[in-house]
Every structure is written in C-alpha cells, then in structure tokens.
Structure 1
Amino acid sequence: MKTAKKRSSDKKITLVDVADASGVSAITVSRVINQPEKVSESLRIQVQKAIDSLGYIPNQHASSLASSKSRVIGVAIPSLSNIVFTEVLRGIYEVMGAAGYKVLLVDTHYSPLEEEKMVRTLLSQSPEGLIITGGDQTKACQNFLHKARIPIVQIMELLADPIDMNVGFAHGRAGFDVVKHLLGQGYERIGFIGARMDPRVQQRMQGYKLALEQVGKFEKNYIVTTPEPSSIGVGGELFKSLMASTNGVVDAVFCVNDDLALGALFEAQRMNIRVPQDMAICGFNDIEAAEYVNPSLTSVSVGRYEMGVKASEMIIRVLNEKPIESKKVDMGYEIKKRASTSRL
C-alpha cells in the first residue's frame, strides 16, 4: 500500500511563508519577532497580521541561537499561591511584556535547595536577566549566579551584599515601627504571631523585639510562631495559643501578615475581646481585605507592584546599556493606621 502524500496544507509554516504573506523580507520578519522595538508600529502590525493568519509559531530556540539573545527573563518566587507576590508579578509581566521580553517563572517553595535547583533550570534556558526573591540563596546558587554574567535583581528585602542589584525594603525597621505605633496608642503588652518564619518574617520579629527591649517591655513568652504556612485559620489558632500562654494579659498583637491578623481578629471576636478597646491587632502587607473588615485592619503597606516594575526597568536599562541611578533601591513602606489599633 502506498503512503498517502502529505497534504500541502499540513506543511509547517516557516518564517519565509510569513515574509511572503506580509510582503517583506525574512530578515524583517525576524526583526519584528525578536527586536520589535526596532521596527515601526505599522510594520509590526503588518507582519503580526500575517503571523496570526498563518498560525506561525516562532522557533525561539533557533532565534536565540541566531541572535545570541533569548528575549527571556527568569523570575524565581517562593510561592505561586501567596497573594503577596501577585502584584509583584503583575508589575514584572507588564514591563517585560511591553519591552518584548517573555517571563519564565518558577516556584521555589520557600526552600533554598529548591531555589538552587530552579535557578539552575532558569539559567539553562539562557535568560538575559533574572529576578529572584531575597538573599537566602545557597553558596552554590550564589556561585553560579555570580558566574552567569547577566543582570540580576534580588527583590522583597534590602540586602547588605546583593549579588548584583537589589530592590526591597527594611523588614526589621518596619517591625520596629509597628511596635512604636502600638506603644504610641497606649498599648503596653504587645504579642507577636508568626508563621512560615522565612528570613523576611524573622527580620520583622527582630524589629519587634528590639523596639520592646528599648523600653523594657519585651517578654519572650509573648511570641508564638509556627513553621506552617500562613492562613486565616492558623492565625486564629496562634491567637488562642498566645492568649493561653500569657493568661490573656497581652493587649496588642503584631501579626507578620494579614492572613494571620484576620484570623486573630475573628478569633478575638469569638472570644468577646473588643478590638481595639481591649486588644489591638496589626497585620502586614495591606491586602485588600484589611481595609474592609470590621474593624478595619491596621497593616504595613508595601509597593509590591512598584517593586516588580522597578526591578524590571533596572534589568531592561542594563540590557540596553543605559545607566541606572543606583544598584540598590529602598522602596520603603507605610503603616496604614486603621480602626484595629486606634484606642486613642
């Protein structure tokens, strides 16, 4: 039996086919795909129409070999399910997409060893730049990041010795300022609730501890933590543990994120503890729900979207051989003071 001849309509669409359909050269099509910022908007639209019509899918591997540029930016974050990173990623995707870059995203699960493995995977794809979270990399990971010779931005915290560039804020100082706010509102016996206990959470706890030590009000048994991931339910359980371990003497609690703070707030209400009259509750990250619960939740607001934008812009400027003002950027924070801590 003869094998049926493959239909011409089944033939794989090539760059040359797109060039013919759009009435330009193959080189021009390649430039539209790989360097869209170097062609006019009208030409880009003309070629894109042909690409869409033919269903052409560019071979990015071949393109990167030909141009020595992958147009890929690697991004490593600790959790895809953590709402905190949603706005950071939105900023990254918006800036990188507008500049013609594709984002390759990996989840490191809050594990330095998993991060090492995932960063190796990213680097194997020849990214032009990397955005990674924090400074808790293994020695091996730090070593091959230094040797990558590409722009790298560590985000979410300020680092004393970043690998390359750094965009973040001082978690320890934020924790210190939360305690100062609570003391200023007349609260004196301030507890701490923490979960997961990654390096940034530990920095907030150290800021909390320092502020209380300075006024002689630090009590070790006012701290309740768990290695479990944060959730509203976990926040409620930790609040109950705090009240039990202190015989209910605490009159304020600093929670390392808003999930825990919401859980603490709901549990306080179930226990008939009035907030803020009997108990102040402060969260961190200022998620949308913080403003709308009753009483509204005081929280530390951080420009997460702006952080993603800034990190992306820094990488693009370096890739385009343009100067940057500073390799280390403090994005700052703001304590959003709401009803949950307003005794005065």
Structure 2
Amino acid sequence: MKKKRPVLQDVADRVGITKMTVSRYLRNPEQVSTALQIRIAEALDELGYIPNRAPDILSNATSRAIGVLLPSLTNQVFADVLRGIESVTDAAGYQTMLGHFGYSPEKEELQIRSLLGWNIDGLILSERTHTPASLRMIETAGIPVLEMMDCISPCVDMAVGFDNVEAARQMTQAILRKGHRNTVYLGARLDERTLLKHQGYELAMQEAGLTPRSIMMEEASSFSMGGLLLEEAQTRYPEVDSLFCTNDDLAVGAMFECQRQGLRVPKDMAIAGFHGHDITQVVTPQLATVMTPREEMGKASAALLLARIRGEHTEAEPINVGFTLFEGGSI
C-alpha cells in the first residue's frame, strides 16, 4: 500500500513559511533568499519530498521531459547514444523518459502514444519507418521531433546521423582493395540500417564488376549468430574469402568461428564489422570496422532538440556526424 507522501504544506510547516513560498522555490530557487533556499532544501531532504508533476501536465505546462525511443536496450550502440543524450538533458534540467520498441513499428506506436500522454516537450526517435497512426499523433502533438542514426533518409522534422550507405560502400571498397573478390554481406534483424548498409555493399561490388552475395536473417545479431551466418555463407558460396558484417557482434562471432575451423584471418577469411565497439580493439587481429561517433550523435541530437524546444532557430538540414574507417588487421 502506498504511503502518504509529504505535500507542500508539510514542507512549509517544517520551515515556518507559506506554501506559496515553497512553490516559488521549486519553480526557481533564486526567487527566495539564499538563507531560505538552504532551509527549504533541508526540509525537502528531511521529509523525502517528491514533486507532483500531475498538475503541470494537466494544465499543459512544460513537462521538462523528453521522450526517447530506442529499438534495443542491450545493444551497445544505443547505450552509447543514450549516454550522450542524457549528458546534455541532465545538464539542462530535463528528464528523459525512455521507451523500448524492439524494432517493431507497431510497438513504437504504442510507446509514442504513452510518451505523448505525459505531455513531453520533445521526442527523439531512432528509426525512419513509422506507422500512419504514429505520424498522426506526432503531427497532432506539435512538439519538436528528432530522428537519429541516419542523415540521408527523409525525416519527420530534424535528423542527426551518418550516411549508412556510403559507410558500407567505403568499407566494402577497403576489403576489395586488399585483393579479396568473393565478399559476402552478413545481415541480421533486417532493420532499416541493415538494409541501407546492404545497399552500400551492393553498390561497391557492382562498381568493381563483382556479384553481390548476402546472407540475411531476421533473428537478432549476436556472436553465436555471426558464427552461424559464416557457416551458411560457406555452404551457399564455397568460394567466399571475405565478409562484411552489418555490425561488430556478427563480425566477432565470425572471427571466433574461423578460429574454431582453423581458418586464418585475414589470409583465409577477411572480416569487417560496423560501429567500432570496444571488443574490436582487443580481438586478434584487431577487427576492421566502421567507427561511428555514437555518444557525440546523442549529444548533438539532444542539443538540437532542446534548442528547438527553447524556440531558438535551428537549421532544417540534417546534421551529419560522419564516420571513419578502421582497417585493423582483419582484412
């Protein structure tokens, strides 16, 4: 059973002031004297006071909160992005209300409806594909919306990300420059970024006059899945001599499978991943990967969204945070 929470009057009685003075302090501490700030803060701490945001929400006042929807809470990519977002929102006094939708547009719709119900001031999304109902709710809410992870695809409002197609194209070209000719693309989840990277891979192969070949599975990526996809590639395309993987999990898993089979990387099988996770630097050989500035992307996304919330002029053009290639020793 819930305990009775202390209310503003309890704090006021503890300090010996009016409830209105406590309310002024909570809205802006500088509205009361320094000495009174200290006394009110001590009373709030002693009573364990929890602010009640419901009246603000019901009156359509600013919530000082933004919604953030991520497709995965276990993927290091999004953990890094979230760390960047919260480093900015925390400093600005904004709360992040986090939702997870498992790469499902339908579940994203449910999460958007829930977040908008809390009268959030802005919304950060991580996909470009939304249901018609999601788009209608976003339009009706009339709040700033930012989409991350891509700076090329059409966006609802604002965007911060990088060019997935070009990044994959350049990494595939790096593999081919090493003399490999039978490069297979490994993909999982089949989310929009996996498909964009597949486009970049195919473009590089076609530009080199080579036949694109891929193994794509709808299951979530993992180290074990990387090994299974390598085995499938060997079965379907016995001539395979190199792999470009949609992420580092698959690439590292494929490396482990090569070790199990006694294949030398990169002599017998070249392997490249995507995103530049920490593990890519400690495996032997170091994994070739596309380095993406995920934390910086989160920071830029939060900063741009908060600027729009404050009514500051912001450019309509998407922000490209870029990427770099790290060739390591695996290609």
> For residues 38 and 210 of structure 1, do their structure 2 counterparts lie closer, same or farther at Cα, with a shift above 3 Å needed?
farther
CA distance in 2, matches of 1:33, 1:177: 53
CA distance in 1, matches of 2:240, 2:90: 49
What is the aligned partner in structure 2 of residue 240 from structure 1? 231
CA distance in 1, matches of 2:36, 2:315: 34
> For residues 35 and 100 of structure 1, do their structure 2 counterparts lie closer, same or farther at Cα, with a shift above 3 Å needed?
farther
CA distance in 2, matches of 1:251, 1:98: 49
2:70 maps to amino acid: I
Q: Does 1:257 align with 2:247?
A: yes
SS in structure 2 opposite 1:16?
helix
2:275 maps to amino acid: N
Structure 1 residue 20: deviation in Å?
4.8
CA distance in 1, matches of 2:230, 2:275: 19
2:227 maps to amino acid: G
What is the aligned partner in structure 2 of residue 51 from structure 1? 44
What is the aligned partner in structure 1 of residue 270 from structure 2? 280
What is the aligned partner in structure 1 of residue 322 from structure 2? 332
2:272 maps to amino acid: C
Structure 1 residue 30: deviation in Å?
3.3
Which region of structure 1 is more displaced relative to structure 2, 150-159 or 282-291?
A: 150-159
> Alignment partner for residue 297 of structure 1, among 287, 300, 306?
287
SS in structure 2 opposite 1:75?
strand
The two structures, once aligned, show a CA RMSD in angstroms of: 2.3
What is the aligned partner in structure 1 of residue 130 from structure 2? 137
SS in structure 1 opposite 2:79?
helix
Spell out, residue by residue over 1:165-188, the C-alpha distance to the aligned partner (whole angstroms, 9 max, x if none). Answer: 111111111110111111122222
Length-normalised TM-score, structure 1: 0.89
CA contact (8 A) 2:275 2:289 kept: yes
Q: Does 1:86 align with 2:76?
A: no
Alignment gaps of 5+ in structure 2: none
CA contact (8 A) 1:64 1:71 kept: no
> For residues 102 and 239 of structure 1, do their structure 2 counterparts lie closer, same or farther at Cα, with a shift above 3 Å needed?
same
CA distance in 2, matches of 1:117, 1:37: 40
Structure 1 residue 102: deviation in Å?
1.2
CA distance in 2, matches of 1:226, 1:123: 34
CA contact (8 A) 1:235 1:261 kept: yes
What is the aligned partner in structure 2 of residue 111 from structure 1? 104
1:235 maps to amino acid: G
Structure 1 residue 26: deviation in Å?
4.1
1:193-212 mapped onto 2 (5 Å cutoff): 193-212=186-205
> Alignment partner for residue 298 of structure 2, among 298, 308, 312?
308
Q: Does 1:147 align with 2:137?
A: no
CA contact (8 A) 1:284 1:299 kept: yes
CA distance in 1, matches of 2:102, 2:209: 37
CA contact (8 A) 1:37 1:100 kept: no
Structure 1 residue 42: deviation in Å?
8.4
> For residues 196 and 72 of structure 1, do their structure 2 counterparts lie closer, same or farther at Cα, with a shift above 3 Å needed?
same
> For residues 198 and 44 of structure 1, do their structure 2 counterparts lie closer, same or farther at Cα, with a shift above 3 Å needed?
farther
Structure 1 residue 160: deviation in Å?
3.7
CA distance in 2, matches of 1:101, 1:23: 30
What is the aligned partner in structure 1 of residue 220 from structure 2? 229
> For residues 45 and 279 of structure 1, do their structure 2 counterparts lie closer, same or farther at Cα, with a shift above 3 Å needed?
farther
CA distance in 2, matches of 1:37, 1:74: 28
> For residues 75 and 32 of structure 1, do their structure 2 counterparts lie closer, same or farther at Cα, with a shift above 3 Å needed?
farther
Q: Does 1:71 align with 2:61?
A: no
Query: What is the count of residue pairs matched by the alignment?
Result: 329
2:108 maps to amino acid: E
Structure 1 residue 101: deviation in Å?
1.3
> For residues 45 and 172 of structure 1, do their structure 2 counterparts lie closer, same or farther at Cα, with a shift above 3 Å needed?
farther
Structure 1 residue 159: deviation in Å?
4.4
2:76 maps to amino acid: I
SS in structure 2 opposite 1:30?
helix
Spell out, residue by residue over 1:311-337, the C-alpha distance to the aligned partner (whole angstroms, 9 max, x if none). Answer: 111121112222224541111111122
1:178-193 mapped onto 2 (5 Å cutoff): 178-193=171-186
CA distance in 2, matches of 1:32, 1:87: 35
Structure 1 residue 55: deviation in Å?
0.8
> Alignment partner for residue 317 of structure 1, among 284, 307, 324?
307
Which region of structure 1 is more displaced relative to structure 2, 332-341 or 198-207?
A: 332-341
CA contact (8 A) 1:34 1:63 kept: no
What is the aligned partner in structure 2 of residue 15 from structure 1? 8
Structure 1 residue 25: deviation in Å?
5.6
SS in structure 2 opposite 1:103?
strand
Length-normalised TM-score, structure 2: 0.92
1:266 maps to amino acid: F
Alignment gaps of 5+ in structure 1: 1-9
